[in-house]
Structure 1
Amino acid sequence: MTHVVHLSSVHYPFDPRIFHKQLQTLSAAGYRTTLLVHHDESIVRDGVDVRSVGNVNTRLERWRNLPTLFREARAEDADVYHVHDPELLPIGVLLSLTTDARVVYDVHEDYADAIRVREWIPDPVKPVLQRVFPAIQGALTRPLDLVVTADDATRESLASRTSTPVETIRNLPKVAGIETDRIDLERSHEHVLAYVGGLDRERGLLNMLQVTARLRERGLDVGLWLLGPFQDKEIEREARRYMEREGIAEHVRLFGYVDYDEIFSYLSAADIGLLLVDEARFERNVPTKFFEYLYCGLPVVLTEVPSLEPYADSDYCVSVPERDLERATTEIERLLEDSDARQAMSDAGREAVVSEYSWEAERDRLLAAYAQLTGSPGTDGIAGPTDETARTDDEYE
C-alpha cells in the first residue's frame, strides 16, 4: 500500500483543504494516509492517521519544533511527502535529498502577497520580503517532484521561477457527504447575514460590522453570524469596541472556530453570505468561502476582487466597490426585502457549484497527479474513485 504523509506546522489538523479534501480523497482511493501536525493527541479519523508532533503555543515554539517534525517525517518512511507551509520548504528539500520518496509542496495562497498583511512582520521588512520571497520559494522547489497551487495566477507566477512541474488543484467545496441540517439552529433575528473564516481587517470584519449597524439604523431586524476565530488580539479589541459603541453587540454572534462538517448547517440557516474583503489581499487568492456560500443557497454580496471575476455571476451574487459600504448596505437591504430574488439567486448559485465549482473535479486532478508520482496509485490497482466511492459522493460533504 502506497504510504502518503502530509505535514503542516501551521494549519489546524482538520483543515478543509488538507484533511477533508486531500487526505480523505487519497484514503478513499486506497492510499495509506498520515498527517503530521501540532495537536493535543494522536488519533485516527475517517481513515486518516493524525499524528501529533507535540503542541505549541507560540510562533517561536513552532519554529523550534521543526527538527522534530523532520525526524518524525523521516521515521514514517513514506512513499510521498506532501508539505503544506512555506516554513516547511527546507524540510521538503531535506526529505527529497535524504530519502527515495517523492515530495510535493502545496501553495495554499500567494505568500508574497500575504506578507503585506502579516501583523507579526515589521512594516519596514515587508517590502523586502515581498521582493525576495518568490525567488527563494522558487529555488527551494527545484529539488522537489511537484508543486501544487490553489489558483492559476499563483501557478503561473511560480512556474516561471522553478523547473519543477506546477499544477493547480483548486480549493473548491466538496459536494459529497455534507449535511446542511447537521445542527438544529435557532435564529433570533428576522434576517441573518453570515461569514465564515478568519476575522481580520483584510477579510472584511470591520466592513461587516459597519454594514450590520447601518442596516439596523434603517429599521431592518438583522443579525450577523461570524464563524471563525479572531486573527489577533488587537482586531478583536477593536471589533468589540465598535460593537459596543454602535449598540450591535447583541446582534452579532461570534461562534469562533466551527468544525468543517458543521459549517454548512450554519450557512444554510442564514440569508446572505458576506465577502466584503480587501481587494489587494484577494487579487490572486480565490476565497473558498464564496463557493461554500453558493452551495448552501446563499446569495453573496462581495467586494469587486480580481480573483473572483471569472466566477462572480450576477445570477447569484452582487459585486460592490471595495470602500462603498453605502452601496453594499443598499444591495443587502434590497435582497433582504425581496425573497423571490433571493430564492432565484439561491437556486442558481447551488447549481453552479454542483455542476462546475466542486471539489469532485479537483479530486480527479489530485489522484492523477499522485498516480503519476507513484506509478501505482493506492492499493489494489485503484487509479481513482471506485464506483462505490462515486456513489457515496452523490451527497454533499
Structure 2
Amino acid sequence: MAHVSVVHRPDDPRIFERECRSLADAGYAVSLLAPGAEEHETHGVRLVSLPRRPRATRWLSAGQLLAQLHRLRPDVVHVHDPELLTLFPLLRPLGPRLVYDMHEYVGQAVAGKHYIPASLRRPAAWGTLFAQRTLASLADGVVGVVPEQFEQLGARPRLRVLLPNYPRFARFSHAALRTELAADDRLRLIYIGSLTRSRGVSLMLDVVRDAGEGVVLYLGGDFYDPVFAAEVSQRVAEELRGRVRLLGRIPPSEVPHYLASAEVVWVPSLPTGQYRRPTVATKLFEGMACGLAALVSDLPGRAPVVAGERCGVLVPPTVEGHLAGVRSLLAARSEIAAMGRRGREAVRGRYSWEVIEHRLVDFYAELRARRPA
C-alpha cells in the first residue's frame, strides 16, 4: 500500500509515525511517497522521494507520482492532500483501493489562506468543497479527525473511520530536557507549530509584552508568510528581546525534548472558520503527554478536555483573555505540576495513539475485504 503526499514532509507525525508505522507493524508492506524523502526503509516503511516544489507548481509532480505508483502497483493508494483527489479518476481504472485522509476542514482552510486574494477566498472555498465532495465519492474509504468533517462529503464512500490526532504516547514518555531552556526560572511557555496569525502568534507576542518580566516564551515552527516572519523577527529582536526565543523548525523526533523543557503548552488558536469548529488540537495533547499544564483558547474540541481533565486554564481567544490566563498561572505556579500530571495521565489512558491504533488496522482489514468501488 502507498501513502502519498505532495504537501507534507516525510516525517509528518500523522502520516509516517502513526499511520504508516502502525500498518507496517500490522504486517502490511507500506510505502510513503513524499517530497524530499531520502529513499530508504525505516520502521518497516519504505520512503520514496517526490520532487519538492513550491505551492504553485506542485501539479507538475503528477506525472512522476503516477509513474511511481505504476512501478509500485500498490493494493491501496491512501492520499493525504485534497489536491491529490484529482488523480482518483486516473487511478480508479487501474484497480487499487483508494483512501482519502481528511486532515482538516478543507473549505475553511482555503478561506483562510493569506496568499489567496480576499475577494476570491469565498468562491475558492466553495469550489474546493464541491470538488472534494465529488472526487471523494470515487474513494473506497475516508479517514477523518472529527465526525463533523464527514458532513462535507456525500453519501459515498460508506466506509469511514475517525482517527483523532492523538500523539503516540511512547514517543513522549522519556523526553530529555534541553537544559539551556529548562534552566530559566521564569514561567516557561512553549508553542510549537505553524507560525501564522490565525494560530495566534501575534496574540502571544502581545501577551508576553504585557505580562511583565516573569515570563519567557519558546516559539518553534515554520513561517509560511515572509512578511509576517519579518514582522515577528523584528518584534522579538527589539521590544521582546530576551523574553521570546525563536527556535526555528523542530523535527518531530526532537519535539518531546523541547516540550519537556517548558512548564505550560500554549494553544492560542483564534476563532477563524477553521477553529470555530470542533477539532483535535494535536499540540495540546503533545504538551499534555509531556506533563505540561495547558493555556488554551476556549474553542470547540479543546474546552471539554482541559476542563474535564483539570489540566490547565481555558480563556477567551483574545489578548486580554490570554493575558489573564498567564497571570493566573503565575499566581498559582505551585499548582502547575499537578495540572501537568493530570494531563499526562489523561493522554496515557484516553488520548493516545496507542488507544485508537486498532481503528486504523480494522479499517484496512475491512477495506481489503471489499471489492474496489
TM over 0.5: yes
Deviation, structure 1 residue 147: 0.8
Indicate yes or no: 2:65 matched with 1:69: yes
For structure 1, list consecutive stretches of 5 or more residues without a partner in the other structure: 377-397
Q: Quick one: distance in 1 between partners of 2:303 and 2:244?
A: 30
Partner of 1:270: 262
Match of 1:224 among 202, 217, 227: 217
2:180 partner SS: coil
Indicate yes or no: 2:18 matched with 1:21: yes
Matches within 5 A, 1:1-397: 4-39=1-36, 41-56=38-53, 58-95=54-91, 97-155=92-150, 157-160=151-154, 162-182=156-176, 184-187=178-181, 189-190=184-185, 191-216=187-212, 219-220=213-214, 222-246=215-239, 248-280=240-272, 281-284=274-277, 285-313=279-307, 315-323=310-318, 325-375=319-369
Pairwise CA RMSD of aligned residues?
1.9
One-letter amino acid of the structure 2 residue matched with residue 145 of structure 1: D
Q: Quick one: distance in 2 between partners of 1:163 and 1:330?
A: 46
Deviation, structure 1 residue 160: 4.0
One-letter amino acid of the structure 1 residue matched with residue 369 of structure 2: G
Q: Quick one: distance in 2 between partners of 1:359 and 1:176?
A: 9
Distance 1:148 1:136, change over 3 A: same
Q: Quick one: distance in 1 between partners of 2:229 and 2:130?
A: 35
Q: Quick one: distance in 1 between partners of 2:99 and 2:338?
A: 42
Distance 1:348 1:226, change over 3 A: same
Deviation, structure 1 residue 159: 4.2
Q: Quick one: distance in 2 between partners of 1:309 and 1:241?
A: 33
1:243 partner SS: helix
Deviation, structure 1 residue 330: 2.8
- Give per-residue Cα distances to partners, 1:270-303, cap 9 Å, x unaligned: 0111111111231233221111111111111111
Q: Quick one: distance in 2 between partners of 1:93 and 1:110?
A: 23
Distance 1:38 1:163, change over 3 A: closer
**What is the TM-score of this pair, normalised by structure 2?**
0.92
Q: Quick one: distance in 1 between partners of 2:246 and 2:226?
A: 14
Tell me the number of residue pairs that the alignment of Structure 1 and Structure 2 aligns: 365
Deviation, structure 1 residue 321: 1.2
Deviation, structure 1 residue 103: 0.9
Distance 1:334 1:183, change over 3 A: closer
One-letter amino acid of the structure 1 residue matched with residue 164 of structure 2: R
**What is the TM-score of this pair, normalised by structure 1?**
0.87
Deviation, structure 1 residue 255: 1.5
Q: Quick one: distance in 2 between partners of 1:61 and 1:344?
A: 49
Q: Which has the higher contact order (CA 8 A, sep 6+)?
A: 1
Distance 1:132 1:161, change over 3 A: farther
- Give per-residue Cα distances to partners, 1:134-161, cap 9 Å, x unaligned: 2221110112100111112112x13445
* Identical amino acids, percent of aligned pairs: 31
One-letter amino acid of the structure 2 residue matched with residue 91 of structure 1: L
For structure 2, list consecutive stretches of 5 or more residues without a partner in the other structure: none
Deviates more, 1:353-362 or 1:249-258: 249-258
Q: Quick one: distance in 2 between partners of 1:253 and 1:115?
A: 30
Q: Quick one: distance in 2 between partners of 1:342 and 1:321?
A: 20
Q: Quick one: distance in 2 between partners of 1:180 and 1:283?
A: 34
Are 1:198 and 1:229, in contact at CA under 8 Å, matched by a contact in 2?
yes
Deviation, structure 1 residue 66: 1.6
One-letter amino acid of the structure 2 residue matched with residue 99 of structure 1: L
One-letter amino acid of the structure 2 residue matched with residue 169 of structure 1: L
- Give per-residue Cα distances to partners, 1:115-152, cap 9 Å, x unaligned: 12212222111111222322221110112100111112
Are 1:148 and 1:168, in contact at CA under 8 Å, matched by a contact in 2?
yes
Deviation, structure 1 residue 31: 0.9
Q: Quick one: distance in 1 between partners of 2:368 and 2:329?
A: 50
1:307 partner SS: coil
Distance 1:163 1:117, change over 3 A: same
